[in-house]
Amino acid sequence: MLSACGEIGPAKSEPDEAAAVQTEPANITTEDETTPDTSETETEETTEDYTEETEDGKIKAPVGSDTAQITAFYNRRANAVKAAGQIAVKKHDFRDGDMQVPAVLKGLTNIESFNPDLDKTITETFVNGVGTQKASRKLNDFMPVNGTPYVSRLQSSCVQKASCTLQKDGWVIRINLKNEALTLDKLRKNAGGIKNISEVDQNVMINGVLLKTGYGSCMDMGFSDLFLGGTDSSQRIRFDLRTVEATANLSEGKIVAHVDFEGNLTSLVLSYKNNIDIVYMAMKIKISAFAKQDYQFTWPEKEKGA
């Protein structure tokens, strides 16, 4: 499967992040690392690995700027969250969006049910992946990537730059993703030319392709939720994907993670911008959004260093 990590056009200006989320990951100094990507790259998916343990069994992080090693280290440490027998997660989900819809379409679709704005915090303790406050909450859905047993399968080919720095209580990982443009037509083709199959089957196949993209492999994407609904079917825009055309321009994707000396992910901030253009019945819909998810993790002693 090819991974598309290419250049895109201008994105919406980012709002004041301090108004959205008051905390950065523990002991992390915030800095703006956005650098426009000017190349278009398609590389085959590869398996990347990194030897984390020293001879005495201690965790060894790839301090520096080796993109492949840092990406592999982040993937492994992040994925350990969903493998935990017990873990408490505090999640702040923020999205600031704008939606422009022709008046005639409002009467033909349920598009107004999709709210581009979001600002909520949920704390849940999961035991074997199931919420203790609400059993309907599943860790596989509460954390990216939605509906999967992993948090990240990011490939270094989709990373613009990465760094890992040593701090007094662990390491800070910063990863900037390359800008990426996704079209529904391209997703259809990559899913196997699926114009004659049912809309339900097409949704499943397209979602599978999204998971192979740079942003889709490590974040919960509004573009996917927009059509597939995520875990909230009321948010789905009910278009027949065999006739609608759409383009999502994803930019300024950032991952900021803190890993303690036992190898536990203690905090994670994911953010990106998304500009979506939809053409339906020769009418255009425009959606732009800045999305940010802030996670804080509390590990029980028995789970530490897993």
Instruction: Give the whole-angstrom CA distance, residue 122 versus residue 139.
Output: 12
pLDDT tier, 191 (very low <50, low <70, confident <90, very high otherwise): low
Residue 38, in any domain of the structure: no
Residue with tokens 């998971």: 211
Residue 103, in any domain of the structure: yes
Question: In 151-264, where do the E strands start and end?
Answer: 159-167, 170-177, 180-183, 245-259
Residue 164, in any domain of the structure: yes
Condensed to tens digits (0 to 9), the pLDDT of residues 133-183 reads 999 999 999 999 988 999 999 999 999 999 999 999 999 999 999 999 887
- 31, pLDDT greater than 70: no
Quote the number of domains for the chain. 1
| Rg of the chain taking only CA atoms, in angstroms | 19
- Stated as kind and residue range, the H or E segment containing 288 is strand 283-298
- 3-state DSSP assignment of residue 83: helix
Residue 198: the pLDDT is 65
DSSP state of 15: P
Residue 51, in any domain of the structure: no
Residue 39, in any domain of the structure: no
Sequence-separated (6 or more) residues with CB below 8 Å from residue 145: 151, 152, 153, 211, 216, 217, 218, 219, 220
- 46, pLDDT greater than 60: no
Residue 102: the pLDDT is 78
Condensed to tens digits (0 to 9), the pLDDT of residues 194-229 reads 555 666 666 666 666 677 789 989 998 754 455 444
Domain hosting residue 86, numbered range: 2-9+18-27+58-300
Residue 157: the pLDDT is 95
Residue 52, in any domain of the structure: no
Residue 42, in any domain of the structure: no
Do 144 and 152 touch, CB atoms closer than 8 A? yes
Which pair of structure tokens corresponds to residue 255? 């991952």
Quote the percentage of the chain above a pLDDT of 90: 42
Mean pLDDT (whole number) for 69-83: 96
Condensed to tens digits (0 to 9), the pLDDT of residues 90-142 reads 999 998 888 887 777 666 665 665 666 789 999 999 999 999 999 999 999 99
Residue 183's DSSP bridge partners are: 247
Residue 50, in any domain of the structure: no
- pTM value is 0.76
Cα 138 → chain centroid: 17
